[in-house]
Chain A
Amino acid sequence: MARQEKKRDVVIVGLGWTGSILGMELCNEGLDVLALERGEDRDTVPDWKYPNVADELKYGVRYGFMQKPRNSTLTIRRDLSETALPYRHLGSFLPGDGVGGAGMHWNGHTFRPMAEELELRSYVERNFGADIIPDDMTIQDWGVNYAELEPYFDRFEKIAGISGKAGNLNGETVEGGNPFEAPRSSDYPMPPLDQTVDSNKFADAARKMGYHPYPRPAANASRAYTNPYGMQLGPCNFCGFCERYGCLNYSKSSPQTCILDALKRKPNFEYRTNAEVLKVELASDGKTAKGVTYVDANGEEVFQPADLVILAAYQLHNVHLMLLSGIGQPYNPRTGEGVTGKNYAYQTNGGTALFFKDIDFNPFVGAGSNGHVIDDFAINQIDFAAEGFIGGSYISSGTFNGQPIRSMRLPAGTPKWGAGWKSAIKEWYGHSMSIGSHGSNMSYQSNYLDLDPTYKDKHGRPLMRMTFNWKDNDIRMTQFMKGRIEELAKSMNPDIMQSGYKSKGAMYDVRPYQTTHNVGGAIMGSEPNKSALNRYLQSWDVHNVFVMGASAFPQNIQYNPTGTVGALAYWAVDAIRKDYLPNPRPLV
């Protein structure tokens, strides 16, 4: 029999970016808020202070700040006929755990999506016709448009403290920014970061090609900054230990640097760590949740009653909890019916390396969000009918780190070991750069999430099962980007150039790191039979459960997800405050 704790107004599952945002905004509303975090408590000091955090082996290679598969993982297969096997150690993607979630170890690329991406199916049908959408492609509109979300993007950028350069201020094009972005109501709160050698060379070459480079919007502070919650950031020192690390310098936007110290001072906020939620407990009619059951640090089961349940865990864990709790009908890939687990998508990336034997790039001089970007081949710049694919990419260059175990780029054909390898690392370390494409990934009927029939977690619950593979549409898109990037790279006259892009027949490989931009599975939309959540991130079926995060994306955008995740959290909590709390009910 589970121990029962005192009832709260709100219980939040997970204390990363969205849990912290919801916590702050609902505490400001006067509610009694409890956050349950499955991992450890964490803060800048002592967890990522200098010099201890500058440890590539512990954090970069052994994933010191990441989820431990022994405690939490999933199984993966590429199609319905394959037997899914456990993701036994981390590779392709790196979910966080602990206070701050993945928001403490990200690089900080903070984009807004294109307006067209939020209404993708309608945009494609309107401009190119429904018949260009492949039969198995299940892309949808989000149920919310850019104009509605704009104030919430603006809010998140000011809370997180983003450094960047607007390209479209209220419809006016601004030189030096992204001319293809949707209109912004205000500029970024800080000017862009200074840029490294590779980033500047890329921008020069792109301008010569007639493209429109702009500095990457960065959750790395370019100046001293105080946000609306009174939290302070200091200017980034380009330490070269950003992604996979906590920021030793209070420069990277994270729940810790932007929200948590202010939130922890509120008397109506409490958080418990090492508190892993097993299940959302539903009322007997299944229309509301009564609270959640979690396991505390001593291994004891606890029932935590609450009036409002916010799932603010990582995308994968939100969907897992919904499947385990019976929230929404599980998706069936054979019939296309059901919603929970539907439309899992990833990110379609590629890159070209350029070697210059006479240029000193000093790659250890790096910031997580360093770089210039072009959107000349972005989703709203491509004729899908003419090119034969739906999607787009941003193209960028800029060093994040020069850590030698992981970031030792060598020309193809270099021996992997022996005297040849040893001389090559001296010859080439610091003498290369790369240009990457970061692309959309569409959703498909056979890419989805459900419960695994075989493997269990340490609590005896079924692991979640991911079924995912690359599809021809997205491979055509990335091959198109390869052509554009290679033209650009050649114009820079490198001594050696080599490319890595997925080609036809590519099978999903869980081993090399690709990106922690897992999306979908609890998607938002405007029809209850096609999405798990309504436009306010509210469960269609269980109205006092709201589900934050990239699990709401119906397909993946061409950008890094956090800017959109942050904006959706502010959008949803505004609806909760203004509309739901006065009259709790399905909002749509």
Chain B
Amino acid sequence: MSEANFKLNRRSFLQAGAVGTMLSAGYSANAFAQSETPHLSDYQPEYFTADEWKFIVAATDRLIPAEGDGPGALDAHVPIFIDRQMAGDFGNAADWYMEGPHDPDAPAELGYQSPLTPAEAYRAGIAELNALCQTEHGAVFAELDKQTKDAVLAALDAGEIKLSSTQGADLFDLLLQNTKEGYFADPMYGGNHEMAAWNHIGFPGARASFREWVGVEKPYPLGPVDISGKRG
């Protein structure tokens, strides 16, 4: 597309693109209603116990820390996302084949073979890790200093800390995957608060209409929208 065409189309795109396509595609009025997103400090976990919640908050805060440019996991409300996931279908392995026999010692390439659901694996793994931190460092994970927390997470990631209670489920992999999901998923799931993670990287969210941008090699100028229609 030539520069001249680009400018011409750009105006109509800005006028009609984002909002226009939404309205024409069966957008319902109530979808604009603000979802109630409690602040992290006021949030009452649905699944996690108070001790588990402290772990989730402390661990996600180290996996995506506040320091530096861009939101940390707590700014993005990642713990709320993880709690809701554990209370829902994912945490309960609702879609997974969970019939036995289970072989927790199976080769990793054969995939998840634990008899535990993700929610159960979190519960067992957090308790075991906290007990280990208590023994090794004199306090549960959430009460350790940043450097020690990072060292514990790095050891868990590297397999130097092995948790037997999760019966083959990898707590670190689950936690890291769910943390990134909560960072980048649509805000309706509780994380990515105010689309901060999308703004951080320049992902326009649910705009989903880029006809005028095919082959255009310059930064896309518009911020994100979420599925509820809110602009970031």
| A residues neighboring B (CB under 8 Å) | 45, 49-52, 54-57, 61-63, 68-70, 73, 76-78, 83, 85-89, 91, 193-197, 200, 235-241, 248, 359-362, 364-365, 402-405, 408, 416-419, 421-423, 425-426, 429-430, 454-456, 507-511
- Can you name the residue of chain B whose Cβ is closest to the Cβ of A239? B208
Chain B interface residue count, CB cutoff 8 Å, equals: 70
Residue of B nearest to A238 (CB): B210
Secondary structure of the A side of the interface? loop
Chain B residues whose CB sits within 8 angstroms of the CB of A68 once the complex forms? 95
Question: Is B209 a contact partner of A237 (Cβ separation < 8 A)?
Answer: yes
Nearest A residue to B201 by beta-carbon distance? Answer: A429
Assuming the contacts A89-B111, A510-B109, asked whether A239 and B210 have C-beta atoms less than 8 A apart, the reply is yes
Determine whether the beta carbon of A417 is less than 8 Å from that of B214. Answer: no
Q: Is the CB of B95 within 8 A of A405?
A: no
| Chain B positions within 8 Å of A76 at CB level | 110
A359 cross-chain contacts in B, Cβ below 8 A: 217
Which residue from A57, A73, A426 sits with its C-beta under 8 Å from B186?
A57
Q: How far in angstroms is the closest Cβ of chain A from B55?
A: 16
Picked from A195, A417, A423, A510, the residue with its CB within 8 Å of the CB of B111 is: A510
**5 A-B pairs with least C-beta separation:** A239-B208, A54-B206, A50-B25, A509-B109, A57-B185
B27 on interface, CB distance cutoff 8 Å: yes
B99 contacts A by Cβ under 8 Å: yes
B208 engages A83 (CB within 8 Å): no
- Whether A419 pairs with B65 at a CB distance below 8 angstroms is yes
Q: Are B21 and A405 in contact (CB under 8 A)?
A: no
Q: Which single member of B97, B106, B227 contacts A52 (CB below 8 Å)?
A: B227
CB within 8 Å of A: which B140-156 residues:
150, 153
Cα A56 to Cα B181 with chains together (Å): 9
Please indicate the chain A residues that have their CB under 8 angstroms from the CB of B113 in the complex: 85-86, 88
Q: Is the CB of A240 within 8 A of B210?
A: yes
What string of 1s and 0s marks CB contacts (under 8 Å) between B208-228 and chain A?
Answer: 111101111111100001010
Instruction: Tell me the dominant secondary structure on chain B's binding face.
Output: loop
Verify B111–A51 contact, CB threshold 8 A: no
Cβ contact of A86, chosen from B69, B90, B97, cutoff 8 A: B97
> Is the CB of B127 closer than 8 A to any CB of chain A?
no
In whole Å, how far is A384's beta carbon from the nearest beta carbon of chain B? 29
Give me 19 A-to-B residue pairs in the complex whose CB atoms sit less than 8 angstroms apart, sorted by A's number. Answer: A50-B25, A50-B208, A51-B225, A54-B208, A55-B206, A61-B181, A85-B113, A238-B210, A239-B208, A364-B210, A365-B216, A404-B201, A418-B64, A419-B68, A422-B68, A426-B70, A429-B202, A509-B109, A510-B109
Cβ contact within 8 Å between A237 and B210: yes
CB distance from A436 to the nearest CB of B (A): 20
**B197 interface hit (Cβ, 8 Å):** yes
Q: Which of B25, B67, B94 contacts A419 (CB 8 A)?
A: B67
Interface check B131, CB cutoff 8 A:
no
B172-200 interface mask toward A, CB cutoff 8 Å, 1 = contact, 0 = none? 00001001110011100100000001101
Does the CB pair A51–B208 fall under 8 Å? yes
Known: A360-B219, A404-B198. A69 touches B184 (CB 8 A): no
In the complex, are the beta carbons of A454 and B101 less than 8 A apart? yes
Of B68, B179, B203, the residue contacting A402 (CB under 8 A) is B203
Alpha-carbon separation in the docked complex, A361 to B110 (Å): 35
B45 at the A/B interface (Cβ < 8 Å)?
no
Q: B204 within 8 Å of A by Cβ?
A: yes
Query: Beyond A85-B103, A88-B111, A426-B70, is A51–B202 a contact (Cβ under 8 Å)?
Result: no
The reply to whether B203 and A429 contact each other, CB–CB distance below 8 Å, is: yes
Residues of B within 8 A of A50 (CB): 21-22, 25-27, 208
The verdict on A241 contacting B201 (CB below 8 Å), with A88-B96, A195-B215 known, is: no
Contacts A51-B229, A241-B208; A83 near B25 (Cβ below 8 A):
no
Partner of A196, one of B101, B179, B215: B215
Given A51-B27, A73-B97, are A417 and B227 also a contact pair (CB < 8 Å)?
no
Instruction: Determine whether B62 belongs to the interface, using a CB cutoff of 8 Å to chain A.
Output: yes
B47 within 8 A of A: no
